[in-house]
Structure 1
Amino acid sequence: MIKKEDISFILADDHPMLLKGLHDELTLHNYAIIGQATNGMQALELILKLKPTIAFLDIDMPLLTGFEVVRMAKDKGTSTKFIILSYHKEIDYITKAKALQLNGYLLKEDSFFEIERCIDAVLNGEIYFSSSFDSFAIENASDELKKLKLLTPSEITILKLIAQGNTNTELSETLGVSVRTVEKHRSNIVHKLEIEGGTNAVINWTLKHKDVIVNL
């Protein structure tokens, strides 16, 4: 079993009071805090430099969001485990967390008992979502990811390019296929993802799920 003194933490939140509160609670329970950050860029730098066991990240931070920090740190091959601590309970955020394969997702309203349960689970290789989450929301988030797995590599490429703001003509030129082929792919995407709405439905969907699409 890993001893508390062997577990190192980095904390990142742009709210000083919340950052201090988490720091004080962890310190009181004999956990080692080796770095703190008030923006995403600073958090990323500390994670890559200090290589903590676990990084607690807020989602809505200046410069880089918590999700962006996780993605960029993982791209660098970090072994740090990531726990998001946020107010967001929406399915979109749960889906993003699952797509990024986050180790834990807690709510800022959770007790320290819940935080410790999450830490223990993460250290044991488990994925932990706050017990405050509605199980229906977590299931729905999983369903969204299952739909994305139905897409072909070509459809995923087109989805990523749409998320970058490319038109059908630009997609056609980039991929070296006809506009008609692009339109066919878009139609398949709409069907598989069960996207409802008018002409801009796919664009709106990709913008809403951009953080998920990036990780496909």
Structure 2
Amino acid sequence: MNSTATILLADDHPLLLSGLEDALSKLNYTIVASCEDGAKALHMIASLQPTIAILDVEMPYLSGIEVVQKCKEKNLPTKFILLTSHKEKGLILETKELAISGYVLKEEPLSVIHTCIQQVLRGGVYYSEIFDTVFNTEIAPELQRITYLTPSERTVVRLISQGHTSKSIADLLSLSVRTIDNHRANIISKLELPSKTDALTLWAKEHKILINKF
């Protein structure tokens, strides 16, 4: 199944990039290009349209996520695998949102990358175990709690995530500060947050991507 598949690699660590290229070549994959920054990766993907692009998340000029977004805007056929050290909730949610085909941690053995590539070539998806663990235990419960909020409360928490105070939210929505503070109290209760002053602000900023889904 490797013979007709073409792969592009992008990572800003030259040793890792070279090692991965050698290892995948020995598994009979055809590596059509390797890049050390996101801008070059985007150009090469658009030009070569490889079957799969394996991207680091943090790269100069464009991140791996930004490369995927721009390729999808161009309707390019390439499938994407993220090879990363990151396990943050925001990144995992973005991976789901963009329908990225694979998510593998750099600390995992080559056999996992090989399995991921084969699964993607079959038209499937492959995520590292940590991905599903974080999504199921941390992201899904937060998404469920957000659904308990009313439309008005979601608007308020979205504005909080953007850095607005109760007064500025009240001005934007033509409401009283007291009404906004009541909304904040209800949101804190529904999200089961501690009652300390900055708990909601910290939560809203951390979960900005989740909030913007609604």
What range describes the TM-score normalised by the shorter chain of this pair? 0.7 to 0.9
Residue type of the partner of 1:25? A
Higher mean displacement: 68-77 or 114-123:
68-77
Q: Secondary structure at the match of 2:54?
A: strand
Number of positions where the alignment pairs a residue of Structure 1 with one of Structure 2: 213
TM superposition shift of 1:106: 0.6
Residue type of the partner of 2:55? L
Q: 1:19-168 counterparts in 2 under 5 A?
A: 19-91=17-89, 93-131=91-129, 133=130, 136-140=133-137, 141-151=139-149, 155-168=153-166
Flag the 1:32–1:202 CA change in 2: closer, same or farther, 3 A. Answer: farther
Flag the 1:214–1:191 CA change in 2: closer, same or farther, 3 A. Answer: same
Cα distance in 2 for partners of 1:184, 1:97 equals 35
Residue type of the partner of 2:134? A
Percentage of matched positions with identical amino acids: 42
Flag the 1:142–1:74 CA change in 2: closer, same or farther, 3 A. Answer: farther
TM superposition shift of 1:35: 3.0
Q: 1:1-16 counterparts in 2 under 5 A?
A: 3-16=1-14
Cα distance in 2 for partners of 1:165, 1:117 equals 42
CA root-mean-square deviation: 3.3
TM superposition shift of 1:215: 5.6
Residue type of the partner of 1:125? G
The answer on whether the counterparts of 1:98 and 1:142 sit within 8 Å (CA) in structure 2 is: no
Cα distance in 2 for partners of 1:148, 1:174 equals 22
Flag the 1:175–1:64 CA change in 2: closer, same or farther, 3 A. Answer: farther
TM superposition shift of 1:31: 2.0
* Structure 1 residue runs without a partner (length 5+): none
Residues 141-186 of structure 1: CA deviation (Å, up to 9, x unaligned): 3333444455556555544443332333443444555545544554
Flag the 1:94–1:5 CA change in 2: closer, same or farther, 3 A. Answer: same
TM superposition shift of 1:203: 2.7
The answer on whether the counterparts of 2:92 and 2:131 sit within 8 Å (CA) in structure 1 is: no
Q: Output the TM-score relative to the length of structure 2.
A: 0.75
Q: 1:175-190 counterparts in 2 under 5 A?
A: 175=173, 178-180=176-178, 182-190=180-188
Flag the 1:177–1:91 CA change in 2: closer, same or farther, 3 A. Answer: same
The answer on whether the counterparts of 1:8 and 1:33 sit within 8 Å (CA) in structure 2 is: yes
Higher mean displacement: 38-47 or 179-188:
179-188
Cα distance in 1 for partners of 2:206, 2:197 equals 16
The answer on whether the counterparts of 1:12 and 1:43 sit within 8 Å (CA) in structure 2 is: yes
The answer on whether the counterparts of 1:95 and 1:142 sit within 8 Å (CA) in structure 2 is: no
The answer on whether the counterparts of 1:56 and 1:85 sit within 8 Å (CA) in structure 2 is: yes
